[in-house]
Amino acid sequence: MYRHFRHVLFASIALCSLPLMAEQAAPAEDERNRLPIEELQTFADVFHQIRENYVEHIDDRELLMLAIEGMLNGLDPHSRFLQDDDLVDLEENTTGEFGGLGVEVGSERGLIKIIAPMDNTPAEKAGLQSGDLISYIDGKSVADMNVDDAIDMMRGEPGSHIELVVIREGEDGPLTFDIERDIIKVLSVRSRMIDKHIGYLRIAQFQQTTAEDVEASLKELQKDEPLQGLVIDLRNNPGGLLEAAVKTSDLFLNDGMVVYTEGRDGNNRAEYVATPGDQLNVAPIAVIINGGSASASEILAGALQDHRRAVIIGSASFGKGSVQSVVPLNDHQAIKLTTSRYFTPTGRSIQAHGIDPDIVVAAGQLREDKERRLKEADLRGHLENNDDSSNESEAKKLPNDAQLVEAYNLLKAMQLLKPAASDTSAL
């Protein structure tokens, strides 16, 4: 099964081959690289005690698998031992189609934390939000539950139901959600025109075809005339393929560093550089992020911010700045190991910090103006405006979304301040 899995590099998952440490070890290595014989003996003693005296019989192979899982889980939240089902899930996530609820999760305070619900999925439609803490799944407590076990419980046959009990900041008590499972087909990219000159691009996550989909969307948005501004919405984008994030960033840059990674010794550095060809011809960009924007989405936001190619709007991103390598052990098993950190073009590490927006805008709805004042158009017998062009609003009605409206207003202001082609006084 795993032998057919393609080797690709992720911002959250990287596929590569790593040589065994034992094969690289030289006889003259210092003390820190020698095997800890006494500790290995302790491990063997514990293994023997569990095998002989634990209240229930555990197969030796299962016990060894538990030891491997514990060793990797103890390193960081992203290192894991992968077996058949995990490898299938990994491939499904890169292609964008899998069964379940459509929610990216992690662990926090002994509970399962929702990093981001995916667009147009049962999780989003039910009202789950980034930052929610799942405390019960179908009546079973998730306290100290392994994230993978929680994911297995949430996945199931399309049409079947699952009950989640969620703790949400600001709520007086737990919230209960009854959600119907479905086949999750994640549409990576969606786009539309906000008005005649400003486009909107939503990237839900970074998959194998995301960069190509973004490029096709940009061509469609500009089929009549070039854009004068673009909003890129990365909110609740959990990340995905590093290569897709780099290629997408390259669409808006003419040159320079996109991102670089460094391993343990600091010398093992991989650099990703933009190629000539800005698809927007330097038209201004506003990127919206929030606490659910993680990993590959932080690479895109960080690259455009460092190159002063876009204004970042919203709230601080998630802060996942590490790269994992998936190392095949055999056809059915692999380990996902954190092997490096990635850095923005100016050398910023995003790990455990995130991308800080240039303009902070809290999520929420716009406040409606309850005091509507009387206007000329309300007076009986008022003269009509005979200028047809002034009767039509150039902008389509925006959703009641404070962050999106702020991004649009920013681009609109930049558009208005741009000198007209016939304005020779600006030359």
Please give the positions annotated as active site.
Answer: 295, 306, 320
Determine contact, residues 357/305, Cβ cutoff 8 Å.
no
Cα–Cα dist 206/213, whole Å: 10
- Whole-number Cα distances in Å, 191 to 154, 233, 244: 30, 10, 17
Residues belonging to the chain: 427
Secondary structure of 330-399 in HEC code, one letter for each residue: CCCCEEEEEEEEEECCCCCECCCCCCCCCEECCCCCCCCCCCCCCCHHHCCCCCCCCCHHHHCCCECCCC
The DSSP line for 240-309 is: BBHHHHHHHHHTT-SSSEEEEEE-TTS--EEEEE--S--TTTT--EEEEE-TT--THHHHHHHHHHHTT-
**Which of these, 5, 2, 13, lies nearest to 325 by C-alpha position?**
13
Q: Token digits for 199? A: 């486009």
Q: Which residue has the tokens 């850095």?
A: 343
**Which of these, 3, 44, 18, lies nearest to 336 by C-alpha position?**
18
Cα–Cα dist 198/145, whole Å: 46
- Residue 203 has φ and ψ, to the nearest 5°, of -110, 110
